[in-house]
């Protein structure tokens, strides 16, 4: 099976999981880089080439000796995570995703107050006012405007007349918000750290409150009031953020103000919140962990661990974790081992070397990943099953 024979597949390079991708003709830089990856590597123990059986045996020995192991990274698909979850039960390991600190910003708000969210399909077909808060979405989800905001056809709205607003953030590329007709986006920049105040002010204005100041974080209140009026007049408003870009004190307050603004809007019109971003299977892992355990996944790698098994299937450019404990790395064959690790086992990449399943960032669609080329590398599930058998 070769890439050339696949003309329509799902790309796991970002949380959008675009399912119309031709691996050899894609114009998305993230997608092109994903499908161009090499898949040749050998297992190693302490930097020395080893067989798969030897590497599995060593990994099992390190986990046997551990009393507080962590299975971290968890950049994988649904099948891979299920295998990791099963191994965690056998070894009493804590599970922690590499994006957990980011995704917990959303989780804390969802747990505290709930929210009213929408989907990319609904935005594509209905949204007439879209407010991007503190983020250049294209940096994370390259084809968002192409597929969702400016598609060739939308069912219930003239997509070329959508009203796009960028609120907050500095130095963002807002060019994608310009409509096919040449209508530019409204851009109201501010220091990202001041977004809690700005979103609270927008929430107040939408609720009909009067503000007694002329500006907030350098944004004129009259301009914020104009955005509030446009949201209230919209038939379907959408407020979008990316949790990874909310990297400042009280970030959860910003997200809460966004979601509460949506609640206020829904008293008189229709509106939805949409958390974008997503990478390394974080949405898939978060939902699967909740299904299997009833709990949200752990926020970060515990500092007192005495063994760390690091899983990274999708992002070989991401640095390995810093730890003084034994480190077992199972993942993408292109991972740069900038330091010697105790065990390295390269595995097949879901959506490239192996089939798989992932959940889209808006949480309502489960998509299959195709195997588009042959490989001799084992899957994560196969490796972890062998490790478990060797314990």
CATH code for the domain in which residue 250 is found: 3.40.228.10
Q: What is the pLDDT of residues 268-294, one digit of tens each?
A: 999 999 999 999 999 999 999 999 999
**Does 272 lie in the same domain as 138?**
yes
Residue 31 lies in a domain: no
The average pLDDT across 13-34 equals: 96
Q: Which helix (H) or strand (E) holds 233?
A: helix 221-233
pLDDT over 80 (residue 4): no
pLDDT number for residue 5: 61
**Does 214 lie in the same domain as 178?**
yes
Using an 8 Å Cβ cutoff, are 366 and 358 in contact? yes
Instruction: Provide the number of structural domains found in the chain.
Output: 2
Q: What is the pLDDT of residues 363-387, one digit of tens each?
A: 989 999 999 999 999 999 999 999 9
pLDDT over 80 (residue 166): yes
Residue 26 lies in a domain: no
For residue 340, name the pLDDT band (cuts at 50, 70, 90): confident
pLDDT number for residue 296: 85
Q: Which range of residues forms the domain containing residue 48?
A: 3-7+38-99+281-390
CATH of the domain at 64: 3.40.50.740
**Does 84 lie in the same domain as 171?**
no
**Does 162 lie in the same domain as 68?**
no
**Does 285 lie in the same domain as 264?**
no
CA distance 110 to 210: 28
Residue 293 lies in a domain: yes
Residue 22 lies in a domain: no
**Does 260 lie in the same domain as 335?**
no
Residue 23 lies in a domain: no
Residue 199 lies in a domain: yes
CA distance 216 to 118: 28
DSSP state of 146: I
* Nearest of 173, 189, 177, 101 to residue 139 by alpha carbon: 173
Q: What is the pLDDT of residues 94-138, one digit of tens each?
A: 999 999 989 999 999 999 999 999 999 999 999 999 999 999 999
> pTM of this prediction?
0.94
**From residue 138, how far is each of 114, 146, 188, 241 by CA, in Å?**
27, 10, 18, 12
């Amino acid at each position: 099976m070769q890439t050339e024979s696949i003309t329509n597949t799902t790309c796991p390079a970002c949380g959008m999981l675009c399912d119309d991708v031709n691996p050899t003709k894609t114009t998305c830089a993230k997608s092109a880089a994903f499908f161009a990856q090499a898949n040749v590597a050998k297992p190693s123990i302490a930097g020395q080439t080893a067989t798969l059986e030897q590497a599995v045996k060593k990994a099992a020995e390190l986990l046997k000796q551990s009393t507080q192991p962590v299975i971290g990274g968890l950049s994988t698909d649904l099948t891979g995570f299920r295998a990791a979850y099963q191994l965690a039960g056998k070894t009493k390991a804590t599970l922690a995703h590499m994006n957990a600190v980011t995704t917990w910003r959303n989780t804390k708000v969802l747990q505290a107050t709930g929210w009213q969210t929408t989907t990319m399909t609904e935005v594509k077909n209905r949204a007439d006012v879209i407010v991007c808060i503190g983020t250049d979405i294209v940096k994370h989800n390259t084809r968002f405007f192409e597929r969702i905001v400016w598609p060739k056809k939308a069912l219930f709205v003239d997509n070329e007349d959508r009203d796009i607003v960028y609120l907050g953030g500095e130095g963002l590329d807002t060019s994608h918000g310009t409509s096919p007709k040449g209508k530019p986006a409204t851009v109201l920049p501010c220091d990202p750290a001041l977004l809690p105040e700005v979103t609270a002010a927008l929430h107040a204005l939408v609720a009909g409150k009067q503000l007694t100041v002329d500006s907030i974080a350098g944004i004129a209140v009259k301009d914020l009031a104009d955005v509030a009026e446009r949201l209230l007049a919209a038939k379907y408003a959408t407020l979008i953020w990316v949790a990874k870009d909310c990297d400042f004190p009280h970030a959860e307050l910003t997200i809460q103000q966004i979601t509460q603004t949506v609640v206020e809007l829904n008293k008189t019109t229709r509106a939805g919140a949409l958390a974008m971003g997503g990478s390394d299977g974080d949405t898939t892992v978060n939902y699967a962990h909740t299904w299997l355990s009833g709990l949200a996944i752990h926020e970060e790698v515990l500092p007192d661990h005495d063994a760390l098994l690091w899983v990274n299937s999708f992002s070989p450019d991401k640095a390995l974790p810093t730890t003084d404990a034994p480190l077992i790395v199972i993942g993408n064959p292109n991972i740069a081992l900038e330091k010697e690790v105790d065990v390295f086992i390269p595995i097949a990449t879901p959506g490239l070397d192996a089939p798989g399943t992932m959940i889209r960032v808006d949480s309502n669609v489960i998509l299959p990943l195709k195997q588009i080329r042959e490989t001799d590398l084992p899957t994560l599930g196969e490796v972890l099953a062998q490790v478990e058998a060797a314990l």
